[in-house]
Structure 1
């Protein structure tokens, strides 16, 4: 199969709902601090900006898909985890609002509640309900094969967001939209080094196993510490499954078994907020006695920075709606879509958290 090589200069801006229906070509360079316009699903002002893309381009012909008018289409969105998590709530809200602004005929929304078998069944059920295009936030990077096979059999393209699957691009799925999770881990190490003055005994609260988010956020952090920060000693790490209650329980356990811990790196804000409670229960001051750095950008975590309980948060922007539907429109307009579309993420710290609280989700 001959595919078009897609240039790394492909850029998109997830712009305001007022211009969402148009084909957009925003201009931004990797590493800039440009503030994009608000986007669908945005409770603040922090829309997504594409940083870079990579991989071969995939066209309708390559994928074996037929041209589709989204205004006549049934689109399915498979959410991976309960919307009680702020990231997932913002993500689902963004998809719903962008679908409305795009003028999609019908949007089907399901939630797998963090269960892979349910997500497979959800996707199959949406296909049976006539879904013409699927947006999937995978529970795991592996294991969606039966659902992807069912979509392929029906000729329905699958766009993945937030977590990357290990299946074949332009065969099993159209593209991946998401953050550079390895870079997020490196930036978290930078932030923790700055917060601790370069000396700390660090505990890591790991996300759930079986997905590239956890693996990359951990690898990026560890590699950066090893390469740049010899004063940061990783003394413990344990899975807390991206959950606040587990983050609290695991942090309590680690603080008891390692009373010399002076810093915590959490793979997401929910676990970090759990750690805040655990540190307080241990009779210490979070953000002071024990520095805390995490990844996401939820309003509660950014407020915790303002309150002095968390030191820094590396953003992972969940507002995928505009970019997802814009990508679908480009695909059905005949454009080649690259395998990986990577967005820029900001950072919240003691210097900017209060001023930028409105951008949190």
Structure 2
């Protein structure tokens, strides 16, 4: 009889173990739940746009690392549309991702849905741009203020103090736009005559159009700082058509921009490391899923390419 009861007990334990699978269990009062994600184990990545080489590199870095680590990564493209990004993130929440990586279109607009994700126990990592209105678990970004300041100081070396300069801004509301603008104005407001500051939404074609408009309003401009390389390259096209000698500095060090610097068409660009940011984001997400603690802010260095 005792043997029969023992067999029943063993079989019951075996069934319970099979049913719980990989879920944490408590042994001798030891709580192991901190090492297992409550979500699906998947990582969701909402990227602002894949119509920009910088963010393609960011996404590629994340995808390559996920493949190497055999991680489940879901990448969604917001297409530079803040409303679509909100909808995309709501979908990732419904899919029960364990970690959300977000590269905001608009730092303010994404706040409420990120806050919703956090309230459901999803860990959140912001990449390249900050999230306003919600306290994310980790922020991975370049020092945009310092990078823009560095670029503007180099522009000053080229065109001199008191020269007329223009600023081509990124997407309004994006933290990169705000930070790079701040870095530019730390130098420019003291050392340049800033005759124009206009948005071209981080887009090359818009950058060309904005530069054409700036040239029509003031043909004495000597230097331009663009918040990213796509807009800088658009400005270079407009300047080439005008036949003027205007120094252009960009930001991101995309392949096209680095080639333009080498060819003497652009004066310089600030090198970020988007692939490394994507890699770091996925590795950090995996640490979170396994219950490891991570730094609240992980900076990625920048350098001037000239």
> Please, which runs of 5 or more residues in structure 2 have no aligned partner?
1-32
Q: CA deviation at 1:262?
A: 1.2
* SS of equivalent to 2:96: coil
* SS of equivalent to 2:274: coil
Asked if residue 137 in structure 1 is aligned to residue 97 in structure 2, the reply is no
Asked if residue 341 in structure 1 is aligned to residue 298 in structure 2, the reply is yes
What whole-Å deviation, never above 9, does each CA across 1:168-209 have from its counterpart, x for those lacking one? 32xxx2111001111111101111012224452101101111
Q: CA deviation at 1:162?
A: 0.7
Q: CA deviation at 1:126?
A: 1.6
> Please, which runs of 5 or more residues in structure 1 have no aligned partner?
1-64, 350-361
1:119–1:139 Cα contact (<8 Å) kept: yes
User: Greater CA deviation, 311-320 or 261-270?
Assistant: 311-320
Select the structure that is richer in helix. 2
1:102–1:325 Cα contact (<8 Å) kept: no
Q: CA deviation at 1:218?
A: 1.1
What whole-Å deviation, never above 9, does each CA across 1:40-98 have from its counterpart, x for those lacking one? xxxxxxxxxxxxxxxxxxxxxxxxx953379x7211111111x2311011011111111
What whole-Å deviation, never above 9, does each CA across 1:262-282 have from its counterpart, x for those lacking one? 111111000000001111121
Give the corresponding residue for 1:258.
218
For residues 175 and 96 of structure 2, the distance between their equivalents in structure 1, rounded to whole angstroms, comes to 30
The answer to which structure, 1 or 2, has the higher relative contact order (CA under 8 A, 6+ apart) is 1
* SS of equivalent to 1:328: helix
TM-score by structure 2 length?
A: 0.83
Give the corresponding residue for 2:230.
270
Q: Given the alignment, which residue of 48, 51, 54 partners 1:80?
A: 48
**Alignment: residue pair count:** 272
Give the corresponding residue for 2:80.
114
For residues 134 and 115 of structure 2, the distance between their equivalents in structure 1, rounded to whole angstroms, comes to 11
1:99–1:321 Cα contact (<8 Å) kept: no
Larger of the two Rg values belongs to structure: 2
Give the corresponding residue for 2:128.
162
Q: Given the alignment, which residue of 166, 182, 202 partners 1:219?
A: 182
1:301–1:310 Cα contact (<8 Å) kept: yes
Please provide the CA RMSD for this pair.
2.0
Q: CA deviation at 1:332?
A: 4.3
For residues 145 and 214 of structure 1, the distance between their equivalents in structure 2, rounded to whole angstroms, comes to 17
The 3 A distance-change label for structure 1 pair 198 and 145 is: closer
User: Greater CA deviation, 306-315 or 123-132?
Assistant: 123-132
For residues 117 and 90 of structure 2, the distance between their equivalents in structure 1, rounded to whole angstroms, comes to 8
What whole-Å deviation, never above 9, does each CA across 1:213-247 have from its counterpart, x for those lacking one? 111111111112345xx3x3211111111110110
